[in-house]
Amino acid sequence: MSATRRHFVAGGLAATAALSLPRIARGAAPRVVVVGGGFGGATAAKYVKKFLPDAEVTLIERDKQFITCPFSNYVIGGIEKMQTITHGYDKIAKRGVKVVHDEAVAVDPNAKTVTLKGGATLAYDRLVLSPGIDFIWDAVPGYSEAAAEVMPHAWKAGPQTLLLRKQLEAMPDGGTVIIVAPANPFRCPPGPYERAGMIAWYLKNNKPKSKILIFDPKENFSKQALFFEAYENLYPGMIQWIGGKQGGKVTRVDPKAMTVEAEFGEEKGDVINFIPPQRAGKIAQIAGVTDEKGWCPIDPKTMESTKVKGIHVVGDACIAGAMPKSGTAANSQARNAAAAIAAMLQGKEPPEPSFANTCYSIVAPGYGFSVTAMYGATPEGIKEIAGGVSKLKAPAKDRDLEAAYAYDWYRGIIYDALG
């Protein structure tokens, strides 16, 4: 039996037996602290409370409202409003989750405490980190947090989403929009290409002489053939993708001159959407659960960190094998983590997880397609069991149905995480 396999089977149980069980055996309610109120964290908090109603579950989230990245491209394209993608935590609070609007600034895995910016220290039996992503601001010369006010990333939904939208509204007809896509791995693999479609929808109807250039260090990307088919069907000649082989890797940006320098040459943009390279959210680094590349290795059966016992990591921050960094993936990982945590806190064997992902992309109203898969845990990581993408050349009614399903998926995940 390999070390990985041994850990896979016994890691969680050992930690439970050594640390959690005695306290709970004394009759105290188990304490679960969840950091980050996105799809992963909200779902984890809700489901731990559901599986273990006696547990004291605290969700730490900086913001009063959750503005979702899914569907934020539709705000950028002008077919949805910010209100559609903005949600509160009142419903999960009513379910018994204690929602604390503060920021986790320190984790002590030995004392099992989380310290908040506001000064409070919370003790936990099990900690869930769902911190999402942080940007590596200085990865490309010329870009910075300040530059994001000129060349918005709009990769965390909120003011940045509106900034990009406003820039598109202010752009003259005949202008050039440049989208700079990051290298793998990054949040929402189909996102930059869905965004290109949504921007094209706005431009086609308002500024039809304009064009969109996508600069990309990659040689292929999620649902590529479906996106190319859609661009050709809906926006012929408007969107140009410059991939890795064509020299699409960006080497420098200049926010003053509004230029992007790539391996193939330099282009000037009227609107530049620069999506920076990413790593796990800062608290994961502070807690010591990240690897040398900045992401969090986990035990696929429990989502428990392989670096620090007692801490589970879900969502974009974790290394989830074949699963992409998506809202659905985070939601699915969080449910399984919650089931594992509930079992471990009761001194039971964690149940076998079942993971799913579905990512819809809408590139025009009534034109949607998807990638989906089911996954399972193996000692080597999370592996895909089966799945795939929508068919190419599908009839218009299928694209229309999948666009409607995207909206239903959104309603469903909001309910599952926050309802």
Partner 1 sequence: MKGITIPVALAVTLMAGSAMAAPTAEAIARNCVVCHGPKEAGQLEIPKIANYPARKMVEMLTGFRAGQKEATIMDRIAKSLTDEQIQALAAHFASQ
CB of 380 to partner 1, least distance (A): 8
CB of 131 to partner 1, least distance (A): 22
- 93 makes contact with partner 1 (CB under 8 A): no
Closest CA to 216 of 160, 275, 278: 275
Interacting residue with partner 1 among 53, 88, 351, 366 (CB under 8 A): 351
Q: Considering beta carbons, is residue 256 or 397 the nearer one to partner 1?
A: 397
Cα 190 from Cα 129, distance rounded (Å): 24
- 356 makes contact with partner 1 (CB under 8 A): yes
Interacting residue with partner 1 among 134, 355, 359, 364 (CB under 8 A): 355
What are the strands of the beta sheet with 98-100, ordered from one edge? 98-100, 56-60, 31-35, 126-129, 311-313, 304-305, 296-299, 318-319
Interacting residue with partner 1 among 68, 332, 333, 361 (CB under 8 A): 332
CB of 221 to partner 1, least distance (A): 19
> Locate tokens 């700079």: which residue?
180
CB of 352 to partner 1, least distance (A): 4
- 407 makes contact with partner 1 (CB under 8 A): yes
Q: Is residue 390 classed as helix, strand or coil in its secondary structure?
A: coil
Interacting residue with partner 1 among 352, 366, 392, 396 (CB under 8 A): 352
Number of residues interacting with partner 1: please give it, by CB under 8 A.
45
- 398 makes contact with partner 1 (CB under 8 A): yes
Cα 222 from Cα 189, distance rounded (Å): 6
Q: Which stretch binds partner 1 (CB under 8 A): 79-87, 92-100, 290-298, 346-354?
A: 346-354
CB of 151 to partner 1, least distance (A): 35
Question: Could you tell me how far CA 105 lies from the centroid of its own chain?
Answer: 21
Q: Which stretch binds partner 1 (CB under 8 A): 77-85, 123-131, 210-218, 366-374?
A: 366-374
CB 399 within 8 A of CB 368: yes
Residues near 1 by Cβ (< 8 Å), separated by ≥ 6? Answer: none
Query: For 131, how many CA atoms within 13 A lie in the half-sphere containing its CB?
Result: 28
Query: For 57, how many CA atoms within 13 A lie in the half-sphere containing its CB?
Result: 29
Q: Considering beta carbons, is residue 157 or 338 the nearer one to partner 1?
A: 338
Cα 101 from Cα 95, distance rounded (Å): 17
CB of 384 to partner 1, least distance (A): 8
Interacting residue with partner 1 among 269, 358, 359, 363 (CB under 8 A): 358
Interacting residues with partner 1 between 301 and 330 (CB under 8 A): 328
First to last CA, the chain: 43
Query: Quick one: DSSP state of residue 316?
Result: G
Q: Considering beta carbons, is residue 90 or 408 the nearer one to partner 1?
A: 408
Q: At what angle do helices 39-51 and 327-345 cross, to 10 degrees?
A: 30
Interacting residue with partner 1 among 29, 105, 234, 374 (CB under 8 A): 374
Interacting residue with partner 1 among 209, 252, 268, 411 (CB under 8 A): 411
Q: Is residue 173 classed as helix, strand or coil in its secondary structure?
A: coil
Query: Quick one: DSSP state of residue 85?
Result: G
Interacting residue with partner 1 among 211, 387, 392, 393 (CB under 8 A): 387
Interacting residue with partner 1 among 336, 344, 345, 361 (CB under 8 A): 336
Interacting residue with partner 1 among 107, 339, 342, 345 (CB under 8 A): 339
List C-alpha distances in Å: 53 to 31, 45, 46, 332, 415.
11, 11, 10, 20, 19
Q: Which stretch binds partner 1 (CB under 8 A): 25-33, 143-151, 278-286, 372-380?
A: 372-380
Q: Considering beta carbons, is residue 222 or 278 the nearer one to partner 1?
A: 222
The DSSP annotation for 274-313 comes to E---EEE-HHHHHHT---TTS-EEEETTTTEESSSTTEEE
- 255 makes contact with partner 1 (CB under 8 A): no
Helix or strand (DSSP H, E) at 403: helix 396-418
Query: Could you list the residues that contact partner 1 (CB under 8 A)?
Result: 328, 331-332, 335-336, 339, 351-356, 358, 370, 372-374, 376-380, 383, 385-390, 394, 398, 401-402, 404-405, 407-409, 411-416, 419
